[in-house]
């Protein structure tokens, strides 16, 4: 077998979702798993999970005990970091009024909250400005900077934005307002003229920290600032801030910005989840309660329950609510804001359902008539704060990059795009800007935003087809589901989940283990809630496994479960703990299903 060839699991070449099931481990990773198990005395299943995620026998011990101290780089290794630290330290020691300008998503809210809480510990009273997504758009803008300056701001620090804000910072320069930028977005060679611009993704930065979310870069900045203030003797008469207590916010921003949970990011989240479990942050506690988060917090709770509620403020309500919630020291205010965000999230869900139905119909028509490599959908009736969610749903449904665009009455569209692995959407959008097809745009490989005139939408689609068709075809052809190991219902125990936690937390770039359950009988299956399929699987020895298949009632794998009552099916999914109605139980989240009689082609 070739080194990169992965064997089929249970012989499944075509599942309900048209996937081939393949062993996640390559031949070399299988050998590494064996070495990890033997040299460290670890169970085979844990060793397999670790090896499949790039862990070697030499790094296994450090991986199992991720330490921020050992993984934290010297902040000074980032370009402009020392300049940023020095400028902010000067402002802190002279009691200057510092204004924080953050992005309107979770990463921006947590970055702003982390920095603001640190300054508050030092006795300062910073002002936080989060732009209105509809009125102000993304990033710093002239009017907002003028207002902050009029309010007494003497230093502006932008977080999770600012790397391309040339015009806005020209306004700041005319007002003699110094600017420090802390960001992580991809940028070109040209940078705005500011006091310091810290961004591990700027082209002259060789620190290797480009995988960090903005909140991770902000925390790294605070480590450097704390060190500089300590060197200057700032803590001789006051206690030094405990930065580690901020890691719950760092974990939240890291998970919600979908950066890879490797290295320092994984350490941030591991330690941050422990801090969050203490429920010391009033805002996070209140939001966890309204989101009905039970048990120990996990990345799933952050990414799918807490994060969307904070984002709801920026999407359809008051963008500043998230940062206010995360910085408040008033439990009553925390509960009030959390309730408002929960309400906004429900309203967002209702809007999303209507928009998704319309976008789905438009996408289906486009695929039937011209089969574009990149889907472009849009409407004058859509809310611009929700287009990113629609693009994500279209991408998942059609396995190709997708954009959803909200047009105003003048024909100006604000759009958001999501890509598939192997297709750099951000690069294509930046090229479209240079070609004059877009008024503005940018982003990452997997997500991008743009502003386009409706009359140029057809030309934009043609450009994407020409530029990305080959990459999309290659990426879409890789319809594999990676399986870590095969189990039976008997083997899916709480002890196994406790074991697997040692290789977590799981998230982007560090995926949850997926297990295949061969020939389990579907003893029960029915639709519950909002299109979910709940099922009970029975193993040959009589043991049963409770399962849930989210939003799958109308999907091929959900249909196969519903039609397979009493039949034996191969089932694949991830394991979690269900604490509903008291005692914890193992639950399988079903990702795919295969008929043993029809899955071999």
DSSP string, 449-507: EEEEEGGGHHHHHHHHHHHHHHHHHHHHH--EEEE-EE--GGG--HHHHHHHHTT---B
* Whole-angstrom distance, CA of residue 189 vs CA of residue 25: 39
3-class DSSP assignment, residue 141: coil
With CA atoms as reference, report the closest residue to 534 among 565, 506, 511. 565
* Whole-angstrom distance, CA of residue 196 vs CA of residue 88: 10
Main-chain phi, psi angles of 482, to 5 degrees:
-85, 130
What pLDDT was estimated at residue 599? 62
Q: In CATH terms, is domain 370-479 a member of 3.30.1300.10?
A: no
Residues in the chain: 601
* Whole-angstrom distance, CA of residue 481 vs CA of residue 23: 8
What pLDDT was estimated at residue 466? 95
The encoded tokens of residue 556 equal 């091929």
β-strands 568-578, 515-528: how paired?
antiparallel
Q: Are 151 and 340 in contact (CB under 8 A)?
A: no
**Within a 10 A sphere around the Cβ of 563, how many other Cβ atoms?**
11
How many CA atoms lie within 13 Å of 352's alpha carbon, on the beta-carbon side? 20
- What dotted CATH number matches 20-48+484-594? 2.40.50.460
Q: At what angle are helices 263-277 and 214-231 packed, to 10 degrees?
A: 80
Q: Are 46 and 502 in contact (CB under 8 A)?
A: yes
* Whole-angstrom distance, CA of residue 341 vs CA of residue 309: 5
Q: At what angle are helices 331-369 and 282-290 packed, to 10 degrees?
A: 60
* CATH 3.10.310.30 domain range(s) in the chain: 370-479
* pLDDT-flagged residues of the chain (< 70): 1-5, 580-582, 599-601
DSSP string, 32-50: HHHHHHHHHT--HHHHHHH
Helix, strand and coil content of the chain, in percent to the nearest 5, comes to 45, 20, 35
DSSP string, 293-362: --SS--HHHIIIIIHHHHHHHHHHS-TTHHHHHHH---HHHHHHHHHHHHHHHHHHHHHHHHHHHHHHHH
Tens of pLDDT, residues 3-47: 346 899 999 999 999 999 999 999 999 999 999 999 999 999 999
* Whole-angstrom distance, CA of residue 417 vs CA of residue 450: 8
With CA atoms as reference, report the closest residue to 257 among 371, 159, 394. 159
Tens of pLDDT, residues 446-498: 889 999 999 999 999 999 999 999 999 998 888 899 999 999 989 999 999 99
Query: 193: exposed, middle or buried (C-beta count within 10 Å: 0-12, 13-18, 19+)?
Result: exposed
What pLDDT was estimated at residue 4? 43
* Whole-angstrom distance, CA of residue 100 vs CA of residue 353: 35
DSSP string, 157-195: EEES--TT-HHHHHHHHHTT-EEEEE--S---S-----S
* Whole-angstrom distance, CA of residue 254 vs CA of residue 5: 33
What pLDDT was estimated at residue 101? 98
* CATH 3.90.1640.30 domain range(s) in the chain: 72-342
Q: Are 391 and 430 in contact (CB under 8 A)?
A: no
CATH topology of domain 72-342: inorganic pyrophosphatase (n-terminal core) (3.90.1640)
Question: What secondary structure, in 3-state letters, does 72-133 show?
Answer: CCCHHHCCCHHHHHHHHHHHHHCCCCEEEEECCCHHHHHHHHHHHHHHHHCCCCCEEECCCC
């Amino acid at each position: 077998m070739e080194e990169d060839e992965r064997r089929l699991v249970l012989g499944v070449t075509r599942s309900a979702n048209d996937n081939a099931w393949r062993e996640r481990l390559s031949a070399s990773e299988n050998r590494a798993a064996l070495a990890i198990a033997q040299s460290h005395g670890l169970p085979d299943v844990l060793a397999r999970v670790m090896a499949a995620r790039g862990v070697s026998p030499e790094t296994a011990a450090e991986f199992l005990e991720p330490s921020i101290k050992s993984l934290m780089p010297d902040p000074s290794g980032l370009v402009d970091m020392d300049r940023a630290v020095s400028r902010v330290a000067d402002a802190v020691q002279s009691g200057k009024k510092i204004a924080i300008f953050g992005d309107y998503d979770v990463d921006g809210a947590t970055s702003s909250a982390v920095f603001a809480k640190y300054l508050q510990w030092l006795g300062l009273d910073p002002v936080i400005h989060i732009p209105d997504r509809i009125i102000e758009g993304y990033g710093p803008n002239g009017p907002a900077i003028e207002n902050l300056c009029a309010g007494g701001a003497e230093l502006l620090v932008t977080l999770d934005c600012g790397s391309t804000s040339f015009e806005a910072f020209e306004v700041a320069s005319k007002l003699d307002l110094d600017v420090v930028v802390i960001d992580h977005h991809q940028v070109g060679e040209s940078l705005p003229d500011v006091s310091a611009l810290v961004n591990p993704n700027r082209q002259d930065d060789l620190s290797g920290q480009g995988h960090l979310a903005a909140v991770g870069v902000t925390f790294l900045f605070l480590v450097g600032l704390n060190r500089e203030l300590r060197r200057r003797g700032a803590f001789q008469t006051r206690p030094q801030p405990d930065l580690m207590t901020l890691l719950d916010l760092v974990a939240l921003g890291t998970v919600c910005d979908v950066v890879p949970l490797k290295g320092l990011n994984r350490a941030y989240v591991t330690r941050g989840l422990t801090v969050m479990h203490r429920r010391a942050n009033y805002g996070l506690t209140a939001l966890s309660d309204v989101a009905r988060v039970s048990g120990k917090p996990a990345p799933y709770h952050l990414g799918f329950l807490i994060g969307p509620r904070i984002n709801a403020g920026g999407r359809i309500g008051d963008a500043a609510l998230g940062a206010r919630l995360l910085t408040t020291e008033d439990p009553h205010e925390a509960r009030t804001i959390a309730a408002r965000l929960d309400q906004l999230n429900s309203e967002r869900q209702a809007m999303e359902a209507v928009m998704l139905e319309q976008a789905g119909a438009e996408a289906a028509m486009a695929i039937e008539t011209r089969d574009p490599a990149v889907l472009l959908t849009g409407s004058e009736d859509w809310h611009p704060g929700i287009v990113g969610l629609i693009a994500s749903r279209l991408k998942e449904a059609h396995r190709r990059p997708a954009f959803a665009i909200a047009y105003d009455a003048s024909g100006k569209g604000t759009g958001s795009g999501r890509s598939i692995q192997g297709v750099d959407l951000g690069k294509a959008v930046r090229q479209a800007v240079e070609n004059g097809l877009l008024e503005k745009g940018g982003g990452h490989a997997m997500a991008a935003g743009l502003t386009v005139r409706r009359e140029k939408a057809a030309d934009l689609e043609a450009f994407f087809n020409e530029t990305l068709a080959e990459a999309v075809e290659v990426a879409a052809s890789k319809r594999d589901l990676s399986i870590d190991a095969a189990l039976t219902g008997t083997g899916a125990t709480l002890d196994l989940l406790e074991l697997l936690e040692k290789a977590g937390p799981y998230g982007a770039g560090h995926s949850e283990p997926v297990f295949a359950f061969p020939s389990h009988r579907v003893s029960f299956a029915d639709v519950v809630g909002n299109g979910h399929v709940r099922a009970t699987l029975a193993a040959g020895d009589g043991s049963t496994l409770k399962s849930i298949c989210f939003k799958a009632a109308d999907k091929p794998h959900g249909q196969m479960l519903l039609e397979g009552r009493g039949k034996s099916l191969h089932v694949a999914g991830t394991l979690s703990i269900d604490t509903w109605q008291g005692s914890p139980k193992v639950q399988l989240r079903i990702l795919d299903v295969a008929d043993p009689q029809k899955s071999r082609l």
